[in-house]
Amino acid sequence: MYKLQKFMCHCNIRKYSFCVQVVNIWNSSPNEVVEADTVNAFKYRLDKHWSNQEVLSDVNADLTGTGSVPICM
């Protein structure tokens, strides 16, 4: 099983970054998806897995990426 390690984030800007969120999605994927032999097999299995998932949306999401999150200096 291929899992990615997530490091501690002390700044909110890093904590909510794209890379950290992708690690959460990757680690929650089933082994059948992660251990695909080819890219096409991976895409097919991921589509099949996601087709069974409930879609959640946040209509109040901040799409600019800044919002009220303080920037760490």
As for how many domains the chain has, the answer is 1
Q: For residues 14 and 50, which has the higher predicted lDDT (pLDDT)?
A: 50
State what percent of residues in the chain have pLDDT above 70. 66
Residue 25 lies in a domain: yes
What pTM value is reported for the model? Answer: 0.53
Supply the range of the domain harboring residue 20: 12-49
Question: Does some domain include residue 54?
Answer: no
Look at residue 57 and tell me if it is in a domain.
no
68 pLDDT band (50/70/90 cuts)? low
Cβ-defined contacts of 6-13 (< 8 Å, 24+): 10/72, 11/71, 11/72, 12/69, 12/70, 12/72, 13/69, 13/70, 13/71, 13/72
41-57 tens-digit pLDDT:
999 998 898 888 776 66
